[in-house]
Amino acid sequence: MAKARKQPRRERARSKPTVAERDDVPSAEPFFHGGAPGLVPGSILRPAAALGFDVSYNAEQTMYDPNYVYLTREADVATAYAARCVMPVVGQIPGTVYQAQPLGLVEPDPDYGPVSGVYVRAPRARIVSVVRTDVTLTQREQTQLEGPWQIWG
């Protein structure tokens, strides 16, 4: 029986997934997601494209990619997004704010480049807890919650 050859240390280090690539490593800080109601801890947030939703924004004004789940480190920002929850056929409904753990590589949301770390995206996320349900806000209230993090330019 041949003895297995040990990999050099450099190769072993490169073959291990980074923290951002592993699904089982919790983030040091909480992330939040504002969206549709009805999810429970352990549920997986999947991108709009994977769910078959046709979410379209004005392509000239946004770099939104339906192949990602969008998260924020600010619960107020997630609350503002939850208030914009729209379901196919039904239309606008009260949303829910979740604490979520990103799964896969976390990267900055390109729509908010200079606001480093507040807005991020990942391939998927796992619901950790339900933070707030039945979120309905006026446009003014939404702006007040996310205003400190908005970029104008």
Q: Is there a domain that residue 136 lies in? A: yes
pTM of the model: 0.75
Average pLDDT value for residue range 68-89: 91
Q: Is there a domain that residue 53 lies in? A: yes
Report the CATH number that the domain containing residue 73 is assigned in CATH: 3.20.170.40
Q: Is there a domain that residue 5 lies in? A: no
Total number of domains constituting the chain: 1
Q: Using alpha carbons only, what angle is made at residue 90 by residues 88 and 96, rounded to the nearest 5 degrees? A: 85
Q: Is there a domain that residue 126 lies in? A: yes
Higher-confidence position of 110 and 47: 47
Residue 77, domain extent: 40-147
Q: Is there a domain that residue 89 lies in? A: yes
Q: Is there a domain that residue 52 lies in? A: yes
Q: Is there a domain that residue 29 lies in? A: no
Q: Which pLDDT score is estimated for 27?
A: 53
Q: In what order do the strands lie in the sheet with 44-45?
A: 44-45, 124-135, 95-103, 31-35, 69-72, 119-122, 107-108
Q: Is there a domain that residue 152 lies in? A: no
Q: Which pLDDT score is estimated for 17?
A: 37
Query: 121-130: per-residue pLDDT in tens?
Result: 999 999 999 9
